[in-house]
């Protein structure tokens, strides 16, 4: 039965970005508490903070992260615990950036990289967080994008080569952020090229992502229309 609840916790955590829209905020937490794995309740908090990130409640999200981090420090520093702790820093870095707290966001980026480099095992249960060094690299670009620092974001993005092990959804979202970075930096051609890369990697994510739609509209408003932009906008169902 405990294994079943662990599986449920994984499923509910993975689906949290969808179910929160319908008011089911506690499914992951309920399953996690019954799983007999002390890491799952902490991972559930990581996913619960995503709900507040989406809602713009950044201070509340950071409080959840702080509470979960404190709980993680009461557990042995196994690779599984370290992975979840690193993921908490990932989420906190974005929450801090959205709150326009650049110093705190950078502190979390440094901590998540330190933790990623300290895990000396290639196999560990990351409890649905996807915590690996490539994801740390992805966040190193996302943070300056959220802070509207396109120059830093594109400089970091130019140094990143994501391995094939990165899931298409994460890689696609990275290229969406890279597109936003180039737009902030003032290179609209490379912004569109990055959207094309996102489309090749994760077409459904790219077609439906609101940040893609926003970027396309900004491109349409700030540059003369081109066939490539019009083609992409039509594919993504964006009126320009």
Rounded to an integer, what distance in angstroms lies between the CA atom of residue 111 and that of residue 108? 5
CA distances from 177 to 18, 151, 182 (A): 21, 13, 9
Q: Would the pLDDT of 17 be above 50? A: no
Q: Would the pLDDT of 18 be above 70? A: no
Strand, helix or coil for residue 209: coil
Q: Name the strand (E) or helix (H) holding 67.
A: helix 58-72
Give tens-digit pLDDT for 82-127: 999 999 999 999 999 999 999 999 999 999 999 999 997 777 888 8
Looking at residue 3, its pLDDT comes to 56
Question: What does R_g of the chain's alpha carbons equal in angstroms?
Answer: 18
Q: Would the pLDDT of 190 be above 90? A: yes
Q: Would the pLDDT of 215 be above 80? A: yes
**Tokens coding 124:** 């560990």
Averaged pLDDT for residues 181-185: 97
Region of poorest pLDDT, from 79-83, 142-146, 200-204, 221-225: 221-225
Q: Would the pLDDT of 212 be above 60? A: yes
Rounded to an integer, what distance in angstroms lies between the CA atom of residue 61 and that of residue 225? 40
Give tens-digit pLDDT for 120-162: 777 788 888 889 999 999 999 999 999 999 999 999 999 999 9
Q: Would the pLDDT of 164 be above 70? A: yes
Q: Angle, to 10 degrees, between the axis of helix 210-222 and the axis of helix 188-201?
A: 150
Q: Sorting pLDDT into bands at 50, 70 and 90, what band is 40?
A: confident
143 close to 101: Cβ distance less than 8 angstroms? no
Q: Sorting pLDDT into bands at 50, 70 and 90, what band is 67?
A: very high
Looking at residue 44, its pLDDT comes to 87
106 close to 149: Cβ distance less than 8 angstroms? no
Rounded to an integer, what distance in angstroms lies between the CA atom of residue 153 and that of residue 144? 5
- Give the burial class of 161: count Cβ atoms within 10 A of its Cβ; 0-12 exposed, 13-18 middle, 19 or more buried: exposed
Rounded to an integer, what distance in angstroms lies between the CA atom of residue 73 and that of residue 51? 23
Tally Cβ neighbours within 10 Å of residue 122.
Answer: 7
Q: Which has the higher per-residue pLDDT, 19 or 78? A: 78
Looking at residue 21, its pLDDT comes to 42
Q: Sorting pLDDT into bands at 50, 70 and 90, what band is 14?
A: low
Domain parsing of the chain, residue ranges: 161-240
Q: Would the pLDDT of 5 be above 90? A: no
Nearest to 131 by CA among 89, 164, 103, 161: 89
């Amino acid at each position: 039965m405990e294994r079943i609840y662990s599986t449920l916790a994984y499923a509910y955590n993975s689906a949290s970005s969808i179910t929160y829209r319908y008011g089911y905020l506690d499914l992951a937490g309920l399953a996690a508490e019954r799983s007999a794995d002390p890491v799952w309740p902490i991972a559930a908090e990581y996913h619960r903070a995503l709900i507040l990130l989406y809602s713009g409640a950044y201070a509340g999200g950071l409080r959840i992260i702080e509470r979960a981090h404190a709980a993680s420090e009461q557990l042995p520093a196994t690779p599984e615990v370290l992975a979840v702790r690193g993921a908490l820093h990932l989420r906190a870095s974005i929450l801090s950036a959205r709150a326009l707290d650049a110093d705190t966001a950078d502190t979390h980026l440094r901590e998540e990289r330190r933790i990623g480099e300290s895990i000396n095992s290639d196999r560990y249960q990351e409890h649905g967080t996807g915590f690996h060094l490539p994801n740390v690299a992805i966040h190193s670009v996302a943070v300056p994008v959220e802070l509207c620092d396109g120059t830093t974001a594109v400089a970091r993005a130019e140094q990143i080569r994501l391995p094939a092990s990165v899931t298409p959804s994460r890689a696609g979202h990275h290229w969406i952020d890279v597109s936003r970075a180039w737009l902030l930096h003032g290179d609209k051609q490379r912004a569109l090229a990055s959207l094309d890369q996102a489309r090749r990697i994760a077409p459904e994510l790219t077609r439906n992502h609101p940040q893609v739609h926003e970027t396309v509209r900004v491109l349409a408003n700030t540059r003369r229309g081109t066939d490539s932009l019009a083609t992409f906008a039509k594919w993504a169902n964006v009126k320009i």
